[in-house]
Amino acid sequence: MPELPEVEIVSRQLRENIPRGTRITEIEFLTPALRTVVDKATIQRLVGEPLEAISRRAKYILFHTRRGILLSHLGMTGTWRFDDGPLIKHDHLRIYFAAGPSCVGGKGAKGAKAATCTLIYNDPRRFGQVALLDLDHQRFADLGPEPLGPDFSGASFYEDCRRSKATIKAVLMNPTVVVGVGNIYASEVLFRSHVRPGRRANRVSKKESALIVDSVRKVLSEAIAAGGSSIRNFRGLDSAQGHFQKRHRVYGREGEPCPTCAEPIRRTVLAGRGSFWCGHCQK
């Protein structure tokens, strides 16, 4: 479900609702089918540990403890929710946190008391992932810079484009170039940059690549500010939907008039993924 803005929102909500120092009291695997890299017994070493931090890198959510890092990737359809009620279909993992005045998870869910500290991972398609990382892990060694951080620069992006034989859309979605740009935001970024998704990256000018970098920052920041894009099943932990999908200019709008020139938006398939663009506004 998520590209970077949606993962960032979930990560922030987890951070806001589970204070630093809250203890993990139980980790319960509910189905055998969840794709998990370490065996379930190993993950149990986190039980009893206080959470030191919750962070995000690329599209991974990281729960830090002294004895390791619980990694969560949401795949296409993963969601976390606070819920101490009965399980529903496709719940795969349940984490109990120590109850107490410090853990306010679930607050605002529906007012009332109901402060629960039970966190449930649900994922119908099971493309998501849960794993345990050692403190000195090198899991992210090959990943490119964060798109909203200082290392994602016009100069380095232009170099990556120049060296590539792939399309600009593929380069933009290549996590060794920059992380977090998925299929929705790639189309949105390229529309704002006036560059067709199928253009060879090595035919993108320095000026255009600078505009693309700028558009990545703008589109992702705007999406985060809008609570993400809720298409299909994305929900925040408070069940609130994002509303950035209303501001998608081309994604999912095949045949609709281009917001700039009114020409019908086109859809083509690149690397197996739907790509939306305007033949008049993008060259």
Partner DNA sequence: CAGGGCGCCTGCTCGC
Partner DNA sequence: TGCGAGCAGGCGCCCT
Instruction: Kindly list the residues in this chain that would bind DNA in the complex (CB under 7 A).
Output: 1-3, 6, 58-59, 73, 75-76, 89-90, 124-127, 164-167, 170, 174-175, 182-184, 228-234, 271-274
Q: Which is nearer to Zn ion, 204 or 278 (CB)?
A: 278
Closer Cβ to DNA, 49 or 188, answer by number: 188
- Pick what 197 binds: Zn ion, DNA, none; C-beta below 5 to 8 Å, kind-dependent: none
Q: How far apart are CA 13 and CA 59, in angstroms?
A: 15
Write each residue from 245 to 274 as x if it is in contact with Zn ion (CB under 5 A), else as -, in one continuous string.
-------------x-xx-------------
The DSSP output letter for 125 is S
209 makes contact, choosing from Zn ion, DNA, none, with CB < 5 to 8 Å by partner type, with none
Catalytic residue list contains 218: no
260 binds, among DNA, Zn ion, none (CB under 5 to 8 A by kind): Zn ion
* Cβ atoms 98, 22 nearer than 8 A: yes
Name which of 113 and 165 has its Cβ closer to DNA.
Answer: 165
Q: Based on CB atoms, which residue is closest to Zn ion, 225 or 261?
A: 261
Q: How far is the CB of 156 from DNA (least distance, A)?
A: 15
Whether residue 208 lies in the annotated active site: no
How many Å apart are CA 16 and CA 225, to the nearest integer? 16
Supply the minimum distance, in Å, between the C-beta of residue 253 and Zn ion: 11
How many other C-beta atoms lie within 10 A of the C-beta of residue 114? 12
3 given a catalytic annotation: yes
Q: Which residue stretches of the chain are H helix?
A: 4-17, 40-43, 154-163, 168-172, 183-193, 206-225
Check if 45 is active-site: no
Spell out, one character per residue from 80 to 99, where the chain touches Zn ion: x when CB under 5 A holds, - when not: --------------------
Catalytic position from the list 5, 6, 56, 59: 59
Q: Output the CA–CA distances (angstroms, integers) from residue 263 to 248, 259, 279, in the order listed.
A: 16, 8, 8
Tokens linked to 25: 């009291």
**Which of DNA, Zn ion, none has residue 261 at its interface (CB below 5 to 8 Å by kind)?**
Zn ion
DSSP secondary structure of 220-273: HHHHHHTT---STT---TTSPPP-GGGG-SSTT-TTSBPTTT-PBPEEEEETTE
* Residue 278 near which of Zn ion, DNA, none (CB within 5-8 Å, type-dependent): Zn ion
| Least gap, CB of 103 to DNA (angstroms) | 26
Q: Which is nearer to Zn ion, 55 or 260 (CB)?
A: 260
C-beta neighbour count of 79 within 10 angstroms:
23
Nearer to DNA, 31 or 153 (CB): 31
Q: How far from the centroid of its chain's Cα atoms is residue 62's Cα?
A: 12
* Distance between CA atoms of residues 264 and 67, nearest Å: 54
Burial-class residue 132 by CB neighbours within 10 Å (0-12, 13-18, 19+). Answer: buried
Where does this chain bind Zn ion (CB under 5 A)?
Answer: 258, 260-261, 278, 280-281
Q: Which residues are catalytic?
A: 2-3, 59, 273
